[in-house]
Amino acid sequence: MTTTLKPKARPVARTRAVVILVATAATCAIWAVARGLGTDLTANERAVALPAVILTTVLVGLAAWALLAILERATRHAATAWTCVAAVVLVLSLAGPVGGAETTGGTVALAAMHLAAGAVLILGLRRTARR
């Protein structure tokens, strides 16, 4: 009789933490490129600084993780419900850069940050949802 060894599955918490780090890296990269190009990253008369980008991305990622964990305990369709909520939140979040940025370049850069964070978090965290 032969024994087949299955590869160890990554712990869900570690994978979710990595997803948040990747989302944060993506928003930081967009911020750095925009600043390097001289884009005015001002929204609602406040400069968008790198620490704010980092903190916001991490907090949103942790909130998304928490909601997914709650839904996993509350429903059998957690992945679907969470994805719907996350997509609505992403669309609503775009009102910030679209309505608050002071330049067209700023609008594009800030919207790109929102979309990058949303794409990474939605695709990455959904992949970790219990089936």
DSSP state letters, 33-66: HHHHTT---EETTEE--HHHHHHHHHHHHHHHHH
pLDDT for residue 131? 74
- On whether residue 84 sits in a domain, the answer given is yes
- On whether residue 110 sits in a domain, the answer given is yes
Q: Are 56 and 114 in contact (CB under 8 A)?
A: no
Neighbours of 82 (CB within 10 A): 23
pLDDT for residue 130? 85
Range of the domain at 78: 12-128
- On whether residue 5 sits in a domain, the answer given is no
pLDDT for residue 91? 97
Question: Buried (b) or exposed (e) across 50-72, using 16+ Cβ within 10 A?
Answer: eeebeebbeebbeebbebbbebb
- On whether residue 34 sits in a domain, the answer given is yes
* Spatial separation of the C-alpha atoms in residues 31 and 122, rounded to whole Å: 20
pLDDT for residue 127? 95
Record the pTM: 0.89
- On whether residue 2 sits in a domain, the answer given is no
**1 SS3 class:** coil
Q: How many domains does the chain have?
A: 1
- On whether residue 31 sits in a domain, the answer given is yes
- On whether residue 42 sits in a domain, the answer given is yes
- On whether residue 37 sits in a domain, the answer given is yes
Per-residue pLDDT for the chain (131 aa), expressed as one digit of tens each?
A: 565 655 555 699 999 999 999 999 999 999 999 999 999 999 888 999 999 999 999 999 999 999 999 999 999 999 999 999 999 999 999 998 888 898 999 999 999 999 999 999 999 999 999 87
